Each structure stands twice: as C-alpha cells, then as structure tokens.
Amino acid sequence: MSGAANPALPTEDSRFGWLDFAKGLCILSVVWMWADKQLHLETGWFHDYARFSLPFRMPDFFDLGAADGPRDQPALAQFPDTRVVHYLYFLVVWSFVYVPITWVAQAPAGATDAVWQIFYKMIAAPEGNLWFVQMLACYFLVTRLCRNVPPVLMVLGALFLYWEGLPASVYAIELFGNHFIFFYVGYIAAPLILRASQWIAQNRTTSVIALLSWAIGNYFIMVLMDLRLGPHPIMGLILRFMGIAGVITFSTLVWRASPARLVNYMGRNSLVLYLGFFIPLMLFVELTALKGINVQNSTAAIGIWTVCVVFSFALYWVARRTPLKYLYERPSWVRIPASGTRAAERTLDLPPESAVPALKAAIRGDDAAVARGQQ
C-alpha cells in the first residue's frame, strides 16, 4: 500500500508508525472491555483497566482513524467503494456469522425469526461490536457529503449530537451521535495531530511527565472515584479528548521499542482482531454458563482475553487460504469499478488543507486482506 518516502518530508514510519501502536492498544482495550463486560466483573485489576480505558478506547479509534496518514488516498471516483462499500461489505458478511450464533444460543421460536434478526440487526442494531464497522461507513459518507459545510458548523452540530443525541428509537442512529464528534475532530485536526506527535518525539521528558500526570488523574477519576460518564457529558468529553492525547503521547514514545512490534502488527491489522474476537468470547460465555463454571475473576478474564486475540488471528491465517478468505477480502463483484477515472480525479475533491485536510484512511492494513478494498 505504501510507496517510497518523500525525501523532503519525515519518513512514513516516523510520521505514521505510532498510529499502528495506538490502534493496536485501542483494539486490545476494546477486547479487554468486552471480556470484562461478558464476565460481569466488578472488582479486580482486570476490571480496573477496563474502567481506566473507558474514556479513550472507542473515541481514540474514531479520532485516529480519521486522522490516519494518506498512504493510499483513494481517487474521487473510488471513494464510495473504498470508504463506504468496503465497510458495509464486512458488516453484511459478519452479520451472517454473528447473528446465527447468538440466535442458536438464545433459541428463538423459529428459523424465520433468525432471518429477520439478521437483516434487522445489519441496519438498526448491529450485533456485538459490528456497530463500529457500520459507523465508519456512515461517518465517511456524511463527512464526504458535508465537505463544503464550514468545519465550525460541523463541530457544533457534532457536539449537539453528542450532548442531546438524536430523537430516534433506532440504536444505530443513537450511536451515530455518540462518536461522530471524535471522528470529525480527527478529520479536521489531522495535520495538528501529526505535528503534535512529532513534538512529543522531540520533547520526551516533558511528554513523559505529562503522560504520567494524565494517567494518575485518569486512574483516580475512572477507577478510584468510579465516575460514570453518562450523567456528566461535559466531563466525559474532556476526559475522552484527554485520553486521546494520552494515547497519542504514549504511542509516540514507545512504538519503536521491540516489545511494541506485536502491538504495531495488531494495529496494522485491527479489523482482523475486531471482527474475529467476538466469536470465541460468545461461545466461551455460553459454555461456562451451561457448565456452571465461575470465571468472574481477573485470572480467568486475562486467559479468555488472550484466547480471543489469538483466535482472531489464527482464524484469519487459516481462512486466507480457503474460500473463507472472503470474510476478510471483498470479491471483485462487490467492488465499484474505477475505470474511466480521469487524471484530474487522482486526489479527493476537498477544500484546501487550511480549511479541511484531505480525508484520511480509517483503517489501514499491511498484509491484512481487509485492506485490499482500499487498494
């Protein structure tokens, strides 16, 4: 996906490498949260980290996703394919995986109910964690359609949606308002985020002090005080953006270290982990419930978390050499042909960078087949 580095600019690794670590940290934190939630933990160090990461794990995913570097920026004619159809394809395919598993576990009245659930959940209430894939498609589409709207008005509108929500009984519409502010801020502030990361790398001592101060404060508020963000939207917004800054700082400082390479890899292939972890988690929860096994402790939780992470990549590595590869790779007939694209359409038709930066890729891949829809 990536070409040769421009000698007049910082190398691609120095500019964007920390984003891989940040995404890896966030996706691992998301899997951690789901394990904590499904096991109904209320105490212990595993639950404490789930509380600690609450302000930043999903907002950071959206914010840094929109701010990601333009390694393979799509041509204007390719935008619907690479930024909308790409994610909707995975939403549809994985709904046919997730929903039947849930349906079997819940044992509804008949097969008709199962079919109806699949189509309903694809649109109105995506199963498990699939709402994130749905929102990426929606956020890219809305941001593209509103490219000529002044950014100030877009931010004010996104803040209103965050605080007031949308008057709808459809879960997907409610989710749109909850996180759009983080995606759009990442979109318009992408150059600032990249410059901030470069400053952090050049001022490590100051950055470490700031990072420790944030971590201590966040731990005190989220873990010791056990603050619930729902009743405190302004405080929640502040903590979430501070968490985003904390992840940017931490990722910039550590991503080059040898132990970070595995997290970097997971960040480059975040959709593989995000799509795959829910299957073993659901099966394990149902199995332990049937057997009456008590797994409500941190030791069991970390074991389950590890299994979910390993299973996700094992499934991908096996599936990529079988017809199941289409769980991660779109076939050619689910692509919008880009033939006939004019040379003048090689870059996105967006306002100047001083107003709104070029739309950034949301999820990149390295060797992950899920990224092929963006090539």
Closest CA to 28 of 253, 324, 302: 302
Q: Are 363 and 271 in contact (CB under 8 A)?
A: yes
Percent of the chain with pLDDT over 90: 48
What digits encode the pLDDT tens for the residues 181-231?
999 999 899 899 999 999 999 999 999 999 999 999 999 999 999 999 888
**What is residue 76's predicted lDDT score, i.e. its pLDDT?**
57
pLDDT tier at 294 (50, 70, 90 boundaries)? confident
- The reported pTM is 0.81
What digits encode the pLDDT tens for the residues 55-74?
999 999 899 888 764 444 55
What digits encode the pLDDT tens for the residues 318-332?
999 899 999 999 998
pLDDT tier at 361 (50, 70, 90 boundaries)? very low
What digits encode the pLDDT tens for the residues 90-142?
998 998 888 777 666 555 545 555 566 667 767 777 877 888 898 999 998 99
**What is residue 282's predicted lDDT score, i.e. its pLDDT?**
85
Average pLDDT of span 247-272: 94
**What is residue 343's predicted lDDT score, i.e. its pLDDT?**
34
Average pLDDT of span 278-297: 84
Q: Which is higher by pLDDT, 369 or 336?
A: 336
Closest CA to 175 of 246, 123, 241: 123
**What is residue 283's predicted lDDT score, i.e. its pLDDT?**
86
**What is residue 350's predicted lDDT score, i.e. its pLDDT?**
31
Helices (H), 189-320: 190-202, 204-219, 233-254, 261-268, 270-276, 278-291, 298-319
Provide the 10 A C-beta neighbour count for residue 245: 19
**Residue 50: Cβ-neighbour burial (10 angstroms; 0-12, 13-18, 19+):** buried
pLDDT tier at 238 (50, 70, 90 boundaries)? very high
Average pLDDT of span 161-188: 83
Give the 3-state secondary structure of residue 285: helix
How high is the mean pLDDT of the chain? 80
Residue 24 reports pLDDT greater than 90: yes
